Amino acid sequence: MNIFIREMRDHRKGFIIWSVVILVFMVMAFVEFEAYYDNPEMAEILDNMPRGMLEAFGMYGANLTTINGYMSIVALYLYIMLGIFAVLLGNNIIGKEERDKTGEFLMSMPIKRYRILISKVAAAVANCFFLTLVAGAGIAISVNRYNPDWENVKYILQLLLATFLIQMIFLSLGLLIAASAKAFKKSSAISVTLVIVTYIISVIQSLSDSVEFLKYFTPFKYYQASEILKNDGFQGIYLVLTLLIVFLALFGVFFVYPRRDMKL
Amino acid sequence: MNIYKFEFKTYWKSFTLWSLGIIALQIIMMIFYPTMARDAQMMDLIMENYPEELLQAMGLGEHVSLATVLGYYTFVFVFVQLLIGVQSAYYGCHFLSIEEREHTADFLFAKPVTRRRILIEKYLAAFTILLLTSLVVTASTFISIELFSDGREYEIGPLILLLFTVPIFQLFFFSIGMLVTVGTKRIRSVISYALGFGFGLYVLNAFRSIVGGEFLGFFTPYYHFEPSYILMEGSIPVGRAIISISMILLAHGITYFAYLKRNIRAQ
């Protein structure tokens, strides 16, 4: 419990910075919504736009004039930002002990390494969870003036859940990278590559139908906002995939880290 | 000169990896061009049916045809910008803070060299690497377009203009990195800042390009050096570029004075 509290305190500053950025983004994102809201002329144009183009921008099936349609576009950017947060957090929370040479102190405490890990993972999950809540609050503030109904609220909650699941994937991968890489420098380089590559894959995937299979390789595509809107829920296969990735990665972390040769 | 040489060498590996990443990205994305071009021609036909004013109101006035080489390349280049943005922010943050992070500051600053000199040599080393990166971008742009343009014609002028903006674009992120360093007491994780700024400003512009409006664009160099504007209009949006350039100059001034007065934390 002490380590958990210590970790929460240690990441408080970063958390606050991210929260402010996310809140500002949400409010700014909805500045433009005013022009679209309930504007039938624009809805008509969007309806007639070519599908490929809309898909390239993640706009397919989105009707910008409704809260749900607009949210389905905001969602992608929410995924990206909170995904980055999660991968960095996972990377940092493990790697910082060796980077800041505090590992010596921590590891000499009468606590087993897997207990340390549990506290660290719990703190990281809590951070992700709270950041999702902050994003939810930002959305609530922005959407409130457009009198959302239950359908809107439900969809927003679904998107927030999706955001959290994506964060869990990136968090567990970040933890795994940090636990298995030789040095912090290396693990941060791999994490960056992971984020950029998965993002670019998600863009390439939407370009052409011939590379449809790529969608399994990028978490950003697991919970496509437009699909959630269309199906009114998540697709089972991606939930399974998410669980599988998170479980395997965490298993890897708990296997590798207690056996790790610390460089102190 | 010694510091310059030493610094320059330390970037070598990172520079190689980033370059490979940029080359791979351009080639992989251009591979899709021939297929995309065929689909895109259909889209263009549909788009033509809409009155210009309506598209303008929708923020689609700047609609770019993905069927042409340059039209498709605008799409590719945004991702190149994303990569070099993250890279430049990383270097900007890294080169000023590395001594303190790795506890080599007392060694370096005890040398009979002024701090100004250390700052300038380190700066120039990083700057050289940025310039080399922009050369890599230029080379791989032409190579990937030549390889996959499918025999289609394209204008070379706007492309050169676009590539010419790369160093300024790099300097913007490089400056942000430097500002963050001199503005904080201690930087623990450079990559958090680099990814945060590189991706954050990208997200801002990507979002702006969908919902329209100038307001969001003001803050982000991805809009100041928007590839679609430069390639389609054949000119640089001067007003926007000036925002970036003044930001760069300001950041350089602040960094210079702040770093010379910085309380460097030795071990």
Taking only the tens place, the pLDDT of each residue in A182-238 is: 888 889 889 989 999 999 888 888 777 777 888 899 999 999 888 888 888 899 999
Q: Which among A32, A200, A211 has CB closest to B212? A: A32
User: Is B195 within 8 Å of A195 when comparing Cβ atoms?
Assistant: yes
Q: Which two tokens stand for residue A199?
A: 């993002």
Other beta carbons within 10 angstroms of residue A240's beta carbon come to: 10
* Separation between Cα atoms, residue A203 and residue B66, nearest integer Å: 14
Measured between beta carbons, which residues in chain B are less than 8 angstroms from residue A195? 195, 199
Q: Does B54 map to a domain?
A: no
pLDDT of residue A206: 75
User: Is B35 within 8 Å of A208 when comparing Cβ atoms?
Assistant: yes
User: Is A84 within 8 Å of B195 when comparing Cβ atoms?
Assistant: yes
Using the 8-state DSSP alphabet, how is residue A241 labeled? H
Q: How far is A212 from chain B (nearest CA, A)?
A: 13
* Separation between Cα atoms, residue A133 and residue A178, nearest integer Å: 26
* Residue, of A27 and B256, whose pLDDT is higher: B256
Q: Does B39 map to a domain?
A: no
* Residue, of A253 and A45, whose pLDDT is higher: A253
Q: How far is B43 from chain A (nearest CA, A)?
A: 6
Banded pLDDT at B49 (limits 50, 70, 90): low
Which residue type is seen at A248? Answer: L
* Residue, of A86 and A32, whose pLDDT is higher: A86
pLDDT of residue A79: 94
Is residue B57 pLDDT above 60, yes or no? Answer: no
Q: Which among B35, B82, B83 has CB closest to A210? A: B35
Q: How far is B116 from chain A (nearest CA, A)?
A: 28
Which residue from B minimizes the CA distance to A191? Answer: B191
Nearest 5°: phi and psi at A237?
-60, -35
pLDDT of residue B59: 46
User: Is B203 within 8 Å of A81 when comparing Cβ atoms?
Assistant: yes
Whether B39 contacts chain A with CB within 8 A: yes
Which residue from B minimizes the CA distance to A81? Answer: B200
Instruction: Give residue for tokens 């890489």.
Output: A181
Q: How far is B103 from chain A (nearest CA, A)?
A: 11
Question: Which chain B residues in 215-234 lie under 8 Å from chain A, judged by CB atoms?
Answer: 215-216
- Average pLDDT estimate for B68-75: 86
Structural domain for B99, as ranges: 2-32+70-260
What's the pLDDT tens digit per position in B159-204?
999 999 999 999 999 999 999 999 988 888 888 899 999 999 998 8
Which residue from A minimizes the CA distance to B85? Answer: A196
User: Is B212 within 8 Å of A92 when comparing Cβ atoms?
Assistant: no
Q: How far is A38 from chain B (nearest CA, A)?
A: 14
Using the 8-state DSSP alphabet, how is residue A215 labeled? G
Is residue B225 pLDDT above 90, yes or no? Answer: yes
Banded pLDDT at B68 (limits 50, 70, 90): confident
B45, exposed or middle or buried, with CB in 10 Å at 0-12, 13-18, 19+?
exposed
Which residue type is seen at A85? Answer: F
pLDDT of residue B61: 47
Banded pLDDT at B53 (limits 50, 70, 90): low
pLDDT of residue A46: 65
Q: Does B242 map to a domain?
A: yes
Banded pLDDT at B234 (limits 50, 70, 90): confident
Q: Which two tokens stand for residue B106?
A: 């007392």
Rounded to the nearest integer, the mean pLDDT of chain B is 87
- Average pLDDT estimate for B21-36: 88
- Average pLDDT estimate for B199-227: 85
Q: How far is A188 from chain B (nearest CA, A)?
A: 7
Q: How far is A99 from chain B (nearest CA, A)?
A: 8
Q: What element of type H or E holds B253?
A: helix B238-260
Q: Which among A52, A73, A203 has CB closest to B210? A: A73
- Is residue A26 within 8 A of residue A142, CB to CB? The reply is yes
Rounded (5°) CA angle A44-A47-A48? 95
Which residues, including other chains, have CB under 8 Å from residue B105's CB and lie 6 or more apart?
B99, B264, B265, B266, B267
Using left for φ > 0, alpha for ψ between -120 and 50, and beta otherwise, residue A137 falls in: alpha
Q: Does B47 map to a domain?
A: no
Instruction: Give residue for tokens 């380089």.
Output: A189
Measured between beta carbons, which residues in chain A are less than 8 angstroms from residue B188? 92, 96, 99-100
* Separation between Cα atoms, residue A134 and residue A131, nearest integer Å: 5
- Is residue B32 within 8 A of residue A207, CB to CB? The reply is yes
User: Is A207 within 8 Å of B207 when comparing Cβ atoms?
Assistant: no
* Separation between Cα atoms, residue A62 and residue A46, nearest integer Å: 8
Q: Which among A41, A42, A57 has CB closest to B210? A: A57
* Separation between Cα atoms, residue A138 and residue B80, nearest integer Å: 31
pLDDT of residue A101: 82
Is residue A178 pLDDT above 60, yes or no? Answer: yes
Burial B62-79 (b: 16+ CB within 10 A, else e): ebbbbbbbbbbbbbbbbb
Asked which of B212-221, B234-243, B248-257 is least confident by mean pLDDT, the reply is B212-221
Q: Does B45 map to a domain?
A: no
For A104-131, the DSSP string reads HHHHTSSS-HHHHHHHHHHHHHHHHHHH
Whether B86 contacts chain A with CB within 8 A: yes
* Separation between Cα atoms, residue A198 and residue A219, nearest integer Å: 7
Is residue B119 pLDDT above 60, yes or no? Answer: yes
Banded pLDDT at A102 (limits 50, 70, 90): confident
User: Is B79 within 8 Å of A33 when comparing Cβ atoms?
Assistant: no
Instruction: Give residue for tokens 């991706």.
Output: B199
* Residue, of A199 and B46, whose pLDDT is higher: A199
pLDDT of residue A60: 55
Is residue A74 pLDDT above 80, yes or no? Answer: yes
* Separation between Cα atoms, residue A94 and residue A82, nearest integer Å: 19
Which residue from B minimizes the CA distance to A200? Answer: B79
Q: How far is A98 from chain B (nearest CA, A)?
A: 12
- Is residue B10 within 8 A of residue B94, CB to CB? The reply is no
Is residue A52 pLDDT above 60, yes or no? Answer: no
- Average pLDDT estimate for B53-82: 73
Overall number of domains in chain B: 1
Q: Does B50 map to a domain?
A: no
Q: Which two tokens stand for residue A109?
A: 């405490």
pLDDT of residue A53: 56
Is residue B43 pLDDT above 70, yes or no? Answer: no
Measured between beta carbons, which residues in chain B are less than 8 angstroms from residue A211? 32
How many H-runs (helices) and E-runs (strands) does chain A carry? 12, 0
- Is residue A22 within 8 A of residue A131, CB to CB? The reply is yes
User: Is A196 within 8 Å of B83 when comparing Cβ atoms?
Assistant: yes
Whether B46 contacts chain A with CB within 8 A: yes
pLDDT of residue B26: 93
Is residue A47 pLDDT above 70, yes or no? Answer: no
- Is residue A86 within 8 A of residue A170, CB to CB? The reply is yes
* Preferred mutation among B203, B215, B219 to probe A, highest tally of A CBs within 10 A: B203
Q: Which two tokens stand for residue A69?
A: 């349609």
Q: Does B51 map to a domain?
A: no
Is residue A151 pLDDT above 80, yes or no? Answer: yes
pLDDT of residue B113: 92
- Is residue A142 within 8 A of residue A31, CB to CB? The reply is no
Which residue type is seen at B135? Answer: L
Which residue from B minimizes the CA distance to A99? Answer: B188
Please report the sign of the dihedral spanned by the C-alpha atoms of residue A49, residue A79, residue B59, residue A155. positive
* Preferred mutation among A32, A44, A76, A79 to probe B, highest tally of B CBs within 10 A: A32
User: Is A191 within 8 Å of B191 when comparing Cβ atoms?
Assistant: yes
Q: How far is B2 from chain A (nearest CA, A)?
A: 25
User: Is A25 within 8 Å of B86 when comparing Cβ atoms?
Assistant: no
